[in-house]
Structure 1
Amino acid sequence: MAIHPRELRQCLGHFTTGVTVITCRGDDEAPHGATVNAFTAVSLEPPLVLVSLDRRSKVCGLVESRPFTVNVLEAAQKDLALHFAGRPNQDVAWAADSDCGSPRLGGTLAHISCVPWQHYDGGDHVLYLGEVQEFRIYDGRPLLFHTGKFHHLGGNHDPLLWDDSADGPGGISWFSSAGC
């Protein structure tokens, strides 16, 4: 059976993800970014995350050799996601650069600043592992992506509690602020 890319994309779109913008500096030192929903935690020791970038994106070749930040978008940042997905629509509010020198967006749920660790061929994408150098967590609700559309958690969202006691000494989990 042949796999048709459009149908596969439609199937994969049923997996709900958060929305991030990967930012870094270009050769001209100007900040660049790309909207990405293919982002995941990889390792706690060493602290690694993975982003999958379309080979055609400007950011793809840049993060191979320079620090980058994963900006986790807040529910109200749909226009910002579209801006960095190739539909410029606004002036961008930048936060102070990370300690490792990568640009960060203002108003996000989290910043995860990394230095390049490794990259791998991923077909029409490149898989980049970044070693986390610092992170910051802020209050808010996430912007979500499902079936090709943006969504957010409803106001009556009642989160399930996670028992992180099995995550290690002191119950420190990936989502802990112990590294700040």
Structure 2
Amino acid sequence: MSLDQRALRNCLGQFASGVTVVTTADGTAVYGATVSSFTSVSLDPPLVLVSLDRRSRTCDRLAGSPFGVNVLGADQRDLALLFAGRGDGAGADIAWDGPERAPRLAGAVAHFTCVPWASYDGGDHVLHVGEVTAFDAPGGPPLVFHAGELGEFRRPSGEAAWTGSLDGPAHGWTADFAALTGARPV
């Protein structure tokens, strides 16, 4: 059975994800690629995974080299485009915050410094698993990728993600539990 690749890509694009730039360095040259396929794998040991297109210049450079995963902030759209090969680079003044072998982009909302753990064949991609040796999360609003567009994450108004949900503390099973036991919902 053959699937329509464009239709599959559009369907996969309905899954919103964060945007990262994966970086590595070789001497004074820094290499990077915009990647939305990033995920945690394990806390013990601390492992993360990035999926890079085999054709990207950064993909082969990750094999055997420390690398950084920079989670971009909502104000870093131009950097995402630049490292995706879609920016013209004109006037690009990229600010770096070290470390040398796993370069960190200044202003990223989170950064992971990784050493190679394993690489796996992923069809037209290579799945690079890295062991996290350092991390930092200054925080801030993230850049989001959805349906081929870069945008911002908008938090709903209210105090909690479940505000207005029937599963929230004032409704649903917690209220039912409280009614049965006399306990107060938290």
Common fold: TM-score over 0.5: yes
Q: 1:95 aligns with which of 84, 94, 97?
A: 97
Residue 180 of structure 2 aligns with which residue?
none
The CA deviation at 1:96 is 2.1
In structure 2, do the counterparts of structure 1 residues 39 and 55 end up closer, same or farther at CA, with 3 Å as the change threshold? same
Identity of paired residues, percent? 52
What aligned pairs does 1:88-167 form with structure 2 within 5 A after superposition? 88-89=88-89, 90-97=92-99, 101-154=101-154, 158=158, 160=161
Report runs of 4+ in structure 1 exceeding 3 Å deviation. Answer: 155-159
Q: SS of 1:135's equivalent?
A: strand
CA distance in 2, matches of 1:128, 1:142: 23
Q: Which moved more, 1:125-134 or 1:88-97?
A: 88-97
TM-score normalised by the chain length of structure 1: 0.83
Paired residues, what number? 158
Q: Deviations for 1:92-146, whole angstroms, at most 9, x for unmatched residues? A: 1111216xx3111000100001000000000110000000000000131000000
Residue 51 of structure 1 aligns with which residue?
50
Q: SS of 1:134's equivalent?
A: strand
CA distance in 1, matches of 2:157, 2:45: 33
Unaligned runs of 5+ in 1: 162-180
Residue 82 of structure 1 aligns with which residue?
81
Unaligned runs of 5+ in 2: 163-186
AA aligned to 1:82 is L
The CA deviation at 1:4 is 1.3
Q: Computing the radius of gyration over CA atoms, which structure comes out larger, 1 or 2?
A: 2
Q: SS of 1:31's equivalent?
A: strand
In structure 2, do the counterparts of structure 1 residues 84 and 11 end up closer, same or farther at CA, with 3 Å as the change threshold? same
Q: SS of 2:58's equivalent?
A: helix
Residue 63 of structure 1 aligns with which residue?
62
Residue 29 of structure 2 aligns with which residue?
30
CA distance in 1, matches of 2:111, 2:63: 19
TM-score normalised by the chain length of structure 2: 0.80
Q: CA RMSD in A?
A: 1.6
Q: SS of 1:104's equivalent?
A: coil
In structure 2, do the counterparts of structure 1 residues 157 and 60 end up closer, same or farther at CA, with 3 Å as the change threshold? farther
CA distance in 2, matches of 1:83, 1:112: 20
CA distance in 1, matches of 2:139, 2:40: 20
